[in-house]
Amino acid sequence: MISNAPKLSDDLTLLAKLQRLSWGFIFFIALTASIGFAALYSAAGGDMDPWASRQLTRFIVGMGGMLFIALIDIRWWYKLAYPLYIFGFILLVIVELKGQIGMGAQRWINLGFIQLQPSEAMKIVVVLALAKYFHTATPSDMKSLRFLLPAAFLIIAPVALVLLQPDLGTSLMIVMAGITMFFLSGAPILYFIVGGVLAVAALPVAWAFMHDYQKQRVLTFLNPESDPLGSGYHIIQSKIAIGSGGIEGKGFLEGTQARLNFLPEKQTDFIFTLWVEEWGFLGGMFLFAVLGTVFLFGHIMAQKIRYSFGRLLVVGLIVNFSLYVFINTAMVMGLIPVVGAPLPMISYGGTSMLTVLVGFGLISSAYVHRDAKLPRM
């Protein structure tokens, strides 16, 4: 009897794996993080403490973990996709039962040395699980609701728990990443159209279930000047800081909105605003170019992978990364409501930093083992 289980070892030596890594990809990851260190140094008024030094330590540890993940045969990650999903889901349940409350939300598990936010990890493991599920999907499978409904459940189940925390921003990111996986796997466009119509029709119902602060964020987005010293304060100050940066910016450590503490959450959600105030439009475009290069490297790497699990995983995680960037920057510019999404590799935060690096590690593993043979079952 011939087993269809994947062989969980490969013939690549450690040196061969290191040579197959995309060092350009790794360089731009490090460059992105370095921009974050500089921004956090500025946010503290020209001091490595309390943010930049901790973020640097996390990055060094995270980069080690990223490289370790990259060198593990991708067939192991294929085998562990569902167990990791289940583990992440259990952590979400633990958060709901006895998670730590902060800023009105119950999102964290206190591990002593770090505040773990399982919803951040679910952004990764949902993509991993869906990549495995769709790995062997045929065109006829993708047209079958019976086949697609279990995949939809893989998205809906964690989203329901994340919404209870409540964390609307992370929920939307998981949903969008999941929809991307459906699209990449070849689901009919008609299903997306029907889903979009149903989503629009459900907006009044969703509004009724939203928390008061979430409704206020939407109303503030529509008219931030209605409460300039209250709910509209954050976004108004953000726009002032971005506009005051001009073309070339005010200079490093010279951003008045940040230095005088008019700019809220300058080390986390609004760090892009701090950067643009100091470095101007040109600095903002430079940052977008660096982040865009990371995005481009990911898509180039995906094209060289010979099996669908790896391609789906890489593109899904890169799109996930781009959603981080889009939501954060659009939010601080007032283009979408404030939802509390960090700027990846730049905003201060341990779970966010480590989660993104884990994702990059999985991308690199798929690329290093781009010629691997996975089961068709």
Q: Report the pLDDT value the prediction gives residue 102, as an integer from 0 to 100.
A: 59
The kind and range of the H/E element at 170 are helix 168-184
List the one residue out of 213, 224, 235, 221 whose CA is nearest residue 337: 221
Beta carbons within 10 angstroms of residue 6's beta carbon: 18
Residues of the chain predicted below pLDDT 70: 1-10, 99-106, 112-114, 225-231, 376-377
The letter for the amino acid at 25 is F
Q: Report the pLDDT value the prediction gives residue 4, as an integer from 0 to 100.
A: 46
Exposure on the CB side of residue 211, measured as CA atoms within 13 A:
12
Q: In a 10 Å sphere around its CB, with 0-12 CB exposed, 13-18 middle and 19+ buried, how is residue 164 labelled?
A: middle
Tokens of 45: 């008024």
Q: Report the pLDDT value the prediction gives residue 112, as an integer from 0 to 100.
A: 66
pTM: 0.90
List the one residue out of 99, 36, 83 whose CA is nearest residue 350: 36
Q: Report the pLDDT value the prediction gives residue 214, as an integer from 0 to 100.
A: 74
Tokens of 85: 């999903």
List the one residue out of 167, 161, 171, 157 whose CA is nearest residue 97: 161
Q: Report the pLDDT value the prediction gives residue 230, as an integer from 0 to 100.
A: 67
Q: Report the pLDDT value the prediction gives residue 263, as an integer from 0 to 100.
A: 77
Phi, psi values for residue 153, rounded to 5°: -65, -35
Q: Report the pLDDT value the prediction gives residue 190, as an integer from 0 to 100.
A: 92
Q: Report the pLDDT value the prediction gives residue 117, as an integer from 0 to 100.
A: 83
